[in-house]
Copies of this chain bind each other. A is one copy, B any other.
Amino acid sequence: METVKIGILGLGTVGGGAYEILKMNRELIEKRIQKKIEVVKVLERNMERINSLGLSESTATQNPDDIINDPEIDIVVEALGGIEPSSTFMLNALNNGKSVVTPNKAAVAANFDKLREAAVKNDVEFRFEASVGGGIPALTAIQEALCGNEFSEVMGIVNGTTNYILTKMTDLGLNYDDVLKDAQAKGFAEADPTADVEGIDVANKLSILMALCFDKYVPPAEIPTEGISKITMDDIEAAKSRNCKIKLIAHAKRNGEEIEYSVKPMEIDINHPLAGVSNEFNAIYITGNAVDEVMFYGKGAGALPTGSAIVGDILAIAKAM
């Protein structure tokens, strides 16, 4: 059986999750794709992490070039996060003839065109299913199963932290500050929650969704973005009186030749499928001129759900090799 060799840059929550899945489901994966997937090198300085995942210490390196320049490696998984040096690592890997898989929404949104072009030029694959909606396989569906559609609208609940906060405000009548503190205590929100609550993370994801749905790349900084930090219980109650729930929505819509786009809190009718997306769950709701309305729902974060998307991308590349 042929072996496909993987290098992973960064064994944090998500990179580690992908590795765990490859180990846990090894037999069924080999049966399904008729190839072996072997993680041959990982960029990780924390040897406890290496040991706890059951990797041999000789697999670990502290030099990214040991992965990016290794002629044996077929696919590089970039799971370091942040725009740089991640984007440079990915470009170098693509230019070295390796396919790249990443969950890194900031880097994909910042350098979408460059990364895509490098993949095309080098005749390799660049896949990033995990960058939007964690484990939800929406990006693959948009590009493959739904690719006979002209899309007219996309609406996404694509940030678990803010959806958790809005759900608790709506269901329990708690105010924003109290829910945020609770979310931070539970580890659902970061100590500095700005990127989540001000919609910056969502803007990255909308940039990616728009590039795929409308073939229109808009840098995240150019997307009108409003977060949830100013939402009050009065807003929540006013929405309720109109039979609506407030949700932070990544929204893009075709209007003639133009695409209108924004990240902002919107009132969603309680009978709309997006209104039922609660707590840390994510969903992507798309309208196409053939399929009409379709929604993808699931966990937008977490080691194994996000790892599921990374592994799906790895296996798609491995099967086609």
Contact = CB atoms under 8 A, between A and B. Distances in A.
Interface of A: 17, 21-22, 24-25, 28-29, 32-33, 129, 135-137, 140-141, 144-150, 271, 273, 275-278, 288-299, 302, 304-305, 307-309, 311-316, 320
A148 B21 contact: yes
Nearest to A288: B308
Contact of A297 (B273, B302, B305): B273
B290 A305 contact: yes
Oligomeric state, in copies: 2
A137 B149 CA distance: 12
Contact of A298 (B293, B312, B313): B293
A32 to B, nearest CB: 6
List the 4 closest A-B pairs by CB distance, nearest first: A137-B145, A148-B311, A294-B298, A290-B308
A126 to B, nearest CB: 16
A315 to B, nearest CB: 5
B140 A144 contact: yes
A33 B147 CA distance: 9
Contacts of A22: 148
Contacts of A299: 291-294
A317 to B, nearest CB: 11
B146 A312 contact: yes
B293 A307 contact: no
B147 A315 contact: yes
Q: Give the most central of A24, A129, A137, A291: most B CB within 10 Å.
A: A291
A145 B309 contact: yes
Given A290-B135, A304-B292, A28 B297 contact: no
Contacts of A21: 148-149, 290
A36 to B, nearest CB: 14
Given A137-B141, A140-B141, A25 B292 contact: no
Given A141-B137, A299-B292, A308 B29 contact: no
A24 B296 contact: no
